[in-house]
Amino acid sequence: MPYMPQKSDKFTFGLWTFGNPGRDPFGSETRVPPTPVEGVKKLSALGAYGVNFHDNDLIPFGSTANERDAIVKEFKTALSDYGLVVPMATTNLFSHPVFKDGAFTSNDPKVRAYALQKTINAIDLGVEFGAKIYVFWGGREGAEVDAGKDAVTATKRFRDALNFLAEYVKDNGYDLKFALEAKPNEPRGDIYLPTTGAMLGFISTLDYPEMVGVNPEYAHETISGLNFYHAVAQAIDANKLFHIDLNGQKVGRFDQDLRFGQEDYKTNFFLVKLLEDKGYTGPKHFDAHALRTSDVNDVWEFAKGCMRTYLILKEKAQKFNSDPEIQGILAELNSPDAIIDPLLTGGYSKAAAQQIRHLSLDPSELANKPLPYEKLDQLTFEVLTGVR
């Protein structure tokens, strides 16, 4: 069957994605979502590779040790029966009122200690399931009132927490890397380190930067009108794309977490092309949920749609890459120069500076080089819409 997902595609879903009950800030649940075990069964049939979870997606908040053990056992059995893995785990540091003014960045040292304690336990849980990536999404690490919290201090507290946890992972010999997920706002008015680029800068200030990468999410750059494709490109360039959250979002709206590819086909096309062309091999996680109007059957249509859209865009990327007219234009646009290219990539030397100083470059002539972007963009549209 065309566009049928394979395990090798590494498509994953969070328990909270198909488990979303259709609640929003203005209304209550609209459906009874599948349980984690039912989800594993269904996702496996649909061709997914794995499931991810927050500690409390699997083990409800306040469970006893015995309840925890029983849930872990049942879930492990389901995973092995249906052949799914848990590539990523994370901590819920946002739902409980204790985190209403932040977890790692709270002004209250006891709240910060509680966040650390909860994360240590959640890391143990994730590792027990074989997770290799641990995501940090600081949903509550922000403010509405900047008078109440010093933003430099907050950044330092976040750093202290990550350094502590990195040491914890090393001390226990865990094979686990961290992936930081940025979001500009929602649920806080403003969240610290709001973009993937901000996270990349922050990572270089950590004690073990090599252990830490990013988990960019399409909706999170898009919500504030930024170019997600560019954000992911920067992460790839920095060798920091450890994980990715794919979904859909309209610019300037509330946090929609729509089906992957639901909005802005072109950016999603270039995103998929980027991941495929650059050989990204990590999990492709659909951090999205079905519309509030969906019933449970439609939830699985949502899940199928995410994976199918990725595979369709991947096929379109192959078409784009093998289209002679498009490739001809790209070759023309990127035509190399045997003398100048080595000068630009070879690094600085006095001799190189001299050579560059003496190059005969006529800006008016250079400005005349044709840039047929109208044509190229129209061809892209035609590839995408199946006209080519």
Torsion of CA 108, 111, 112, 115, to 10 degrees: -170
Least Å distance between CB 99 and ligand GLT? Answer: 12
Contact 178, 134 (CB under 8 A): yes
Give least dist CB 227 to Mn ion, A.
17
Q: How far apart are the first and last CA of the chain?
A: 22
Rounded CA gap, 146 and 153, in Å? 12
Site for ligand GLT in 2-61 (CB under 6 A): 16, 54
The H-or-E segment that residue 244 falls in is strand 244-246
Whether the Cβ atoms of residue 166 and residue 79 lie closer than 8 Å to each other:
no
Active site residue 57: yes
181-200 mask for ligand GLT (x: CB under 6 A)? x-------------------
Instruction: Name the β-bridge partners of 134.
Output: 89, 178
Q: Which CB atom, from 90 or from 268, has the smaller least distance to ligand GLT? A: 90
- Letters for 327-366 (x = contact with ligand GLT by CB under 6 A, - = none) are ----------------------------------------
Q: What's the min distance (Å) between Cβ of 248 and ligand GLT?
A: 13
- Closest to Mn ion by CB, 55 vs 217, is 217
Tell whether residue 217 is a contact of ligand GLT (CB under 6 A).
yes
Task: Out of 11, 75, 137, 178, point to the residue binding ligand GLT (CB under 6 A).
Answer: 137
Sheet with 177-181: list strands edge to edge.
Answer: 212-214, 177-181, 133-137, 88-90, 50-54, 11-14, 284-286, 244-246
Question: Which residue sits closest to ligand GLT, CB atoms considered?
Answer: 137
Q: Which residues bind Mn ion (CB under 5 A)?
A: 217, 219, 245, 257, 287
User: Which tokens sit at 353?
Assistant: 């500076």
Site string for ligand GLT, 141-180 (x = CB under 6 A): ----------------------------------------
Residue 90 found at the interface with ligand GLT (CB under 6 A): yes
202 binds ligand GLT (CB under 6 A): no
Q: Between 101 and 257, whose beta carbon lies closer to ligand GLT?
A: 257
DSSP string, 141-191: SEES-GGGS-HHHHHHHHHHHHHHHHHHHHHTT---EEEEE--SSSSSSEE
- Peptide bond preceding 324 in cis form (omega within 30 of 0): no
| Of 176 and 383, CB closest to ligand GLT | 176
Distance between CA 43 and CA 5 in Å, rounded?
11
Q: Computed from CA positions of residues 142, 145, 151, 153, in that sequence, does the dihedral angle turn out positive or negative?
A: negative
Helix (H, G, I), strand (E, B) or coil at 298: helix
Shortest distance, CB of residue 9 to ligand GLT, whole angstroms? 20
The rounded distance, in Å, linking the Cα atoms of 357 and 207 is: 42
C-beta closer to ligand GLT: residue 31 or 243: 243
148 half-sphere exposure, CB direction, 13 A CA radius: 11
Catalytic residue selected from 9, 24, 55, 57: 57
Residue whose token pair is 């976040």: 158
Smallest distance, Mn ion to C-beta of residue 252, A: 15
CB contact burial 204-223 (16+ within 10 A = b; e otherwise): eebebeebbbbbbbbbbbbb
Q: To the nearest whole angstrom, how small is the minimum distance from the Cβ of residue 243 to Mn ion?
A: 9
Residue 90 interacts with which of Mn ion, ligand GLT, none, CB < 5 to 8 Å by class: ligand GLT
Nearer to ligand GLT, 89 or 329 (CB): 89
Which residues, 219 to 278, sit near ligand GLT by CB under 6 A?
Answer: 245
d(CA 128, CA 156): 30
Which DSSP symbol is given to 211?
Answer: G
Catalytic residue among 9, 24, 54, 69: 54
Is 124 annotated in the active site?
no
**Residues contacting ligand GLT: total by CB under 6 A:** 9
CB of 20 to ligand GLT, least distance (A): 9
Q: Between residues 16 and 49, which has the closer beta carbon with respect to ligand GLT?
A: 16
- Positions annotated as catalytic residues are 54, 57
- Contact positions vs ligand GLT (CB under 6 A): 16, 54, 90, 135, 137, 181, 217, 245, 287
